[in-house]
Structure 1
Amino acid sequence: MSAETAAAVVRRWEESGGVWRVVGRRRGELTVSLCQCTGGEEVDRIVSADPALLAFVGDRASSLD
C-alpha cells in the first residue's frame, strides 16, 4: 500500500459509493473486501492492523451497516 493509510483508502472507497465488507477479523487486524458499488464483485482486498481502520470499521460488518 502507498503512503495512504488503510483507513483513508476504505473511507475514500465508501465516499465514492463503493461497498466494503469485513471478510476477516483477527485480534487487532482486519481483512476488508472492496466491492463494486452494486455490492457485487470484489475489486481489491486490504489486510491491515491500522488503528484508524479498526476504529472506523468498529463492529460493522460492511459499509451497508
Structure 2
Amino acid sequence: MSTDPVDTLRRWQHSGALWRVLWRRGDAVTIGLFECTGGQEVDQFTSTDPALLRSLGERTSSED
C-alpha cells in the first residue's frame, strides 16, 4: 500500500476495486478496501491526513 492515502484510493479505484468509509470522526477516517464486486473486504486503514479528508469531502465510497 502506498504511504499516500489519496494515491492508495486513486489506484484502488482505477484498478476497478471499491473503497468505503467505515468510520469517520472529526479529523480521522477509516477506509475499507473491497474486491471489485464490493463483497469481501481486503484491507483497511485509518488516516488523519488532511489531503485525504479534503479529497473525500462528504463521499462515503468510491461509488459516490
TM-score (norm 2): 0.90
Query: Counterpart in 1 of 2:29?
Result: 30
Structure 1 segments of 4+ aligned residues over 6 angstroms from their partners:
none
Tell me the percent identity.
50
Length-normalised TM-score, structure 1: 0.89
RMSD: 1.3
**Structure 2 partner of 1:12:** 11
| Cα displacement (A) at 1:12 | 0.8
Unaligned runs of 5+ residues in structure 1 are: none
Query: How many corresponding residue pairs?
Result: 64
In 1: Cα distance, 2:53 partner to 2:32 partner: 14
Give the corresponding residue for 2:39: 40
- Distance, in Å, in 2 between the alignment partners of 1:32 and 1:10 is 9
Unaligned runs of 5+ in 2: none
1:26-47 alpha-carbon deviations (Å, 9 max, x no partner): 1111100000011110000010
Please say which of residues 24-33 and 4-13 is displaced more in the overlay: 4-13
